[in-house]
């Protein structure tokens, strides 16, 4: 599978819940991917992810370019030595377009963010992200799955078994949870509650994130929540259109980052900044302190690799900033 | 009695100039709002009030702590909750047990306006007071000029941060310049200083993005997380038509030939909203069309969480954007300091604009 003449590109997507890595070849085909939980420790999870990737691909494989994305993209970029650091909207759109060049709408629901990307003729023309509310995102589903003691992987299947969804308020997670508890105490079966929850979240997404957007087919549904078949059904029910869930729905962000790295390397051939596969053995220390220069009390973060300071950021006045 | 006022973006410099012109040596200049200001403000206000209310309250408490007694709270009212700001501040600050005197400069209530103004101008006669005000509105033009130059030079500067350093020096210079003859020289000095001290990349073809929305959200970097500078940092020229000129610049207001940007915007917005709804509802909508006609690439619309008028514009904007093929990004702002969200949206928006301009060919 691995060809020594071929060029390989790495993409890393560090989100709030999961850390994904993808390696693609020069024709943007996915070679290998890794999906692990971030568990609130982005540096550790990137190291772990790199180690897993190395174990799967072997150390001989050289990386020609690396990209990082996701909410932890800046930190990740410094750790792995990324050649390009891009936002997740662009990354997701590119990955979707590679998977299906005709795609017109991308629904992406991750751990903390949910977004809609409107694409026409292969160009992103509009996008929206959830604003001040996290209802309907992966972390809420995760929390509810925990509370009901159902493995999150089974959530969707269970929802499909029900044909009588109970009504749940999806506008706010606090309301949704109290509704769920109320319905559960009345004796409704769990599968009906879960189906009701999926429908509530789907409605909330379409009214909140998808508000005023022209949703046209083909519609792609990706991100961690796409694993939930119940959510896919909900979207099909409300949009009355077919929803495509790509095979690698969970690592689309990472694939997008890898594609960005590949395009960047094609345009500006240069030596990659990518550290090496030994990242997992390096010692990364992050430390923080509060600057007392003014009453902003900025929280400054320092990142050290094997005791050398490699990056520092966090000050509003930028006096501490240090990024190579 | 020590005089002060809450901090409102670069307008603070204008206010300082007017107060100095009125020979008020006892002014206390407010500090830029910080994390503490936000905390103070939200601690003492009702949860669902608009964010500018909280920020300004925090700033007022800070100046009172610094020893201010007379405080100019609002300079005008509007159709939205802005009209309640000052009475509410009085109740809240009284409850907190502070000793202060709130001064309202409400142009629509002429009697109150002139009594308040007289209180402010206690050290000078009417002619001198008017002269000080006039100097204030003229200096306001130059402060706007610095802002505008800064937001375009900032995008193409070679040494990052150079134009910001120059701008801060110039703001002080504008405040401290005295004598009408010297003041009239300022535009030339501003232009020359920027040209001499900021080296720019003349090859760059930066995108241009207009920033519109609620006044305070647009002019105060502390609430909009320094959005102008963020845009500049990713190489985008920006400007905002929303400044204080339209209210305080009596000179331009009396000029019948002056073309007002906001009036043009309101005209454009007519098919969507016909009457004033407070805030900048009509202006935000019309600005999309105005900037499109000017050949700019996109518009960013800022509004504070729970701002009533801008929620209306936010719901109509997608339609305006679609009908005029102009990308619009609406951003809601609150006390949060998590910058990742705003940065992601800005970068994605700029990517979108860039690809739109290049017609889909690369970034």
Q: Are B235 and B156 in contact (CB under 8 A)?
A: yes
Convert the pLDDT of each residue in A155-196 to its tens digit: 888 888 988 888 888 777 788 888 889 999 999 999 999 999
Identify whether B133 is part of a domain. no
Structure tokens at A4: 């020594």
Identify whether B155 is part of a domain. yes
- Based on the domain organization, do B178 and B199 belong to the same domain? yes
- Based on the domain organization, do B254 and B304 belong to the same domain? yes
- Based on the domain organization, do B197 and B219 belong to the same domain? no
Identify whether B195 is part of a domain. yes
State whether B351 and A318 contact (CB < 8 Å). Answer: no
Identify whether B131 is part of a domain. no
Q: Are A70 and A88 in contact (CB under 8 A)?
A: yes
**CA-based nearest distance B348→chain A, Å:** 6
Kindly state the DSSP code that residue A290 receives in the 8-state scheme: E
Structure tokens at B72: 């100019």
CA–CA gap between residue A255 and residue A261 (Å, rounded)? 10
- Based on the domain organization, do B13 and B118 belong to the same domain? yes
Residue in A88, A132, A267 nearest the CB of B362: A267
- Based on the domain organization, do B94 and B117 belong to the same domain? yes
Which domain, by its residues, includes B10? 3-124
State whether B161 and A267 contact (CB < 8 Å). Answer: no
Indicate the length of chain A as a whole number. 324
> Bridge-partner residues for B70, per DSSP?
B3, B101
- Based on the domain organization, do B61 and B24 belong to the same domain? yes
Give how many domains chain B has, as a whole number: 3
> Bridge-partner residues for A14, per DSSP?
A19
A167 touches chain B (CB under 8 A): no
- Based on the domain organization, do B237 and B351 belong to the same domain? yes
Residues of chain B with pLDDT > 70: what percent? 97
| Listed residues B187, B204, B221: the one ending a domain | B204
Q: Which of A316, A317, A319, A321 to mutate to test the interface with B (most CBs of B within 10 A)?
A: A316
Structure tokens at B60: 């007022």
User: pTM of whole model > 0.80?
Assistant: yes
pLDDT of residue B363: 47
Query: Does residue A34 come out as left (phi exceeding 0), alpha (psi in the -120 to 50 range) or beta?
Result: beta
Where do we find the tokens 């694939």?
Answer: A255
Span A30-39, average pLDDT: 91
- Give B322's Cβ-side CA count (13 Å radius): 12
Q: Average pLDDT, whole number, for chain A?
A: 88
Residue in B332, B344, B356 nearest the CB of A89: B344
- Based on the domain organization, do B359 and B255 belong to the same domain? yes
B20: closest CA among B169, B183, B144? B183
A-chain CB neighbours of B355 within 8 Å are 123-124
Indicate the length of chain B as a whole number. 363
Indicate the fold that domain A101-245 takes in CATH.
Nucleotidyltransferase; domain 5 (3.30.420)
Local confidence band at B227 (pLDDT 50, 70, 90 cut-offs): very high
State whether A296 and B347 contact (CB < 8 Å). Answer: no
Convert the pLDDT of each residue in B31-66 to its tens digit: 888 888 988 999 999 888 888 999 999 999 999 999
Convert the pLDDT of each residue in A125-156 to its tens digit: 889 888 666 666 788 888 888 888 888 888 88
CA dihedral sign of residues B239, B243, B245, B246: positive
| Domain layout of chain A by residue ranges | 8-92+253-281, 101-245, 284-323
**CA-based nearest distance A78→chain B, Å:** 16
Where do we find the tokens 């999906």?
Answer: A35
B-chain CB neighbours of A127 within 8 Å are 348-349, 352
State whether A71 and B344 contact (CB < 8 Å). Answer: yes
Span B258-263, average pLDDT: 90
| Listed residues B179, B204, B229: the one ending a domain | B204
CA dihedral sign of residues A251, A253, A254, A259: positive
A161 touches chain B (CB under 8 A): no
Does residue B360 carry a pLDDT above 60? no
- In 3-state terms chain B splits into helix, strand, coil percentages (rounded to 5) of 55, 10, 35
Domain of B210, CATH number, reads 3.40.50.11900
Identify whether B130 is part of a domain. no
| Listed residues B67, B96, B124: the one ending a domain | B124
- Based on the domain organization, do B163 and B76 belong to the same domain? no
Convert the pLDDT of each residue in B312-343 to its tens digit: 998 899 899 989 999 999 998 887 766 778 88
Does residue A324 carry a pLDDT above 70? no
CATH 3.30.420.40 fits A8-92+253-281, yes or no: yes
Q: Average pLDDT, whole number, for chain B?
A: 89
pLDDT of residue B4: 92
Higher-pLDDT residue of B336 and A201 is A201
A-chain CB neighbours of B352 within 8 Å are 123-127
The answer for residues whose C-beta is within 8 angstroms of residue B195's C-beta and 6 or more apart is none
pLDDT of residue B361: 52
- Based on the domain organization, do B362 and B253 belong to the same domain? yes
Convert the pLDDT of each residue in A79-129 to its tens digit: 999 999 999 999 999 999 999 999 999 999 988 888 999 998 888 888 988
B269: closest CA among B255, B256, B279? B279
Local confidence band at B169 (pLDDT 50, 70, 90 cut-offs): very high
**Helix residue spans in chain A (DSSP H):** 42-57, 73-80, 88-99, 138-147, 155-161, 173-186, 190-208, 229-239, 252-267
> Same CATH fold, A101-245 and A8-92+253-281?
yes
State whether A296 and B34 contact (CB < 8 Å). Answer: yes
Local confidence band at B125 (pLDDT 50, 70, 90 cut-offs): confident
Q: Are A287 and A304 in contact (CB under 8 A)?
A: yes
Residues of chain B with pLDDT > 90: what percent? 53
- Based on the domain organization, do B230 and B340 belong to the same domain? yes
B237: closest CA among B204, B278, B274, B193? B204
């Amino acid at each position: 599978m691995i060809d020594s003449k071929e060029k390989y590109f790495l993409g890393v997507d560090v989100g709030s819940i999961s850390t994904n890595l993808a390696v693609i070849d020069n024709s943007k085909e996915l070679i290998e991917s890794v999906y692990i939980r971030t568990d609130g420790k982005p540096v550790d999870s990137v190291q772990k992810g790199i180690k897993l990737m190395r174990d799967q691909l072997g150390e001989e494989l050289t990386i020609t370019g690396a990209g990082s994305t996701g909410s932890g993209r800046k930190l990740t970029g410094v750790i792995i030595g990324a050649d390009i650091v891009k936002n997740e909207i662009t990354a997701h759109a590119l990955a979707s377009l590679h998977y299906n060049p005709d795609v017109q709408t991308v629904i992406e629901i991750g751990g903390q963010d949910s977004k809609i990307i409107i694409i026409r003729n292969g160009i992103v023309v509009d996008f929206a992200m959830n604003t001040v509310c996290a209802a309907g995102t992966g972390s809420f589903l995760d929390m509810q799955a925990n509370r009901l003691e159902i493995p999150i992987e089974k959530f969707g299947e269970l929802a499909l078994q029900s044909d009588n969804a109970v009504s749940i308020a999806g506008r706010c997670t606090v309301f949704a949870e109290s509704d769920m508890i109320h319905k559960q105490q009345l004796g409704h079966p769990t599968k009906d509650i879960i189906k009701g929850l999926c429908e509530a979240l789907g409605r909330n997404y379409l009214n909140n994130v998808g508000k005023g957007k022209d949703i046209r087919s083909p519609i792609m549904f990706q991100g961690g929540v796409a694993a939930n078949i119940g959510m896919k059904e909900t979207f099909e029910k409300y949009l009355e259109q077919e929803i495509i869930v790509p095979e690698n729905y969970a690592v689309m962000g990472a694939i997008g980052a890898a594609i960005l790295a590949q395009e960047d390397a094609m345009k500006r051939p240069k030596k990659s900044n990518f550290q090496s596969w030994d990242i997992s053995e390096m010692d990364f220390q992050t430390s923080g302190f509060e600057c007392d220069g003014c009453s902003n009390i900025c929280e400054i973060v320092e990142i050290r690799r094997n005791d050398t300071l490699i990056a520092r950021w966090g000050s509003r006045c930028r006096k501490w900033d240090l990024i190579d | 009695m020590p005089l002060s006022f809450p901090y409102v973006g670069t307008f603070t410099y204008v206010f300082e100039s007017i107060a100095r012109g009125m020979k008020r040596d006892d002014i206390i200049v407010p500090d830029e709002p910080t994390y503490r200001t936000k905390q103070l403000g939200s601690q003492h206000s009702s949860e669902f009030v608009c964010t500018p209310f909280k920020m300004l309250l925090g700033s007022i408490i800070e100046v009172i702590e610094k020893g201010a007694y007379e405080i100019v709270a609002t300079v005008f009212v509007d159709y939205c909750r802005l009209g309640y700001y000052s009475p509410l501040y009085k109740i809240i600050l009284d409850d907190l047990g502070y000793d202060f005197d709130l001064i309202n400069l409400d142009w629509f209530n002429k009697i109150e306006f002139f009594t308040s103004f007289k209180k402010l101008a206690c050290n000078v006669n009417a002619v001198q007071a008017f002269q000080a005000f006039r100097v204030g509105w003229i200096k306001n033009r130059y402060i706007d000029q610095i802002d505008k130059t800064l937001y375009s030079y900032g995008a193409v500067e070679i040494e990052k941060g150079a134009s910001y350093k120059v701008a801060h020096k110039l703001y002080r210079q504008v405040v401290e310049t005295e004598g009408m003859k010297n003041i009239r020289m300022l535009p030339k000095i501003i232009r020359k200083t920027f040209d001499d001290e900021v080296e720019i990349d003349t090859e760059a073809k930066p995108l241009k993005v207009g920033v519109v929305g609620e006044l305070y959200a647009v002019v105060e970097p502390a609430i909009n997380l320094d959005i102008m500078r963020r845009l500049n940092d990713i190489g985008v020229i920006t400007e905002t038509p929303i400044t204080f000129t339209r209210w305080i610049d009596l000179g331009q207001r009396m000029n019948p030939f002056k073309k007002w940007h906001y009036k043009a915007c309101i005209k454009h917005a007519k098919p969507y909203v016909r009457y004033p709804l407070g805030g900048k509802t009509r202006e935000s909508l019309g600005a999309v069309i105005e900037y499109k006609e000017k050949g700019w690439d996109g518009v960013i619309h800022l509004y504070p969480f729970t701002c009533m008028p801008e929620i209306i514009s936010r719901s109509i904007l997608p339609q305006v954007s679609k009908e005029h093929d102009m990308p619009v990004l609406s951003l809601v702002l609150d006390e949060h300091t998590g910058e990742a969200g705003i940065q992601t949206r800005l970068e994605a928006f700029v990517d979108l604009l860039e690809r739109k301009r290049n017609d889909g060919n690369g970034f």
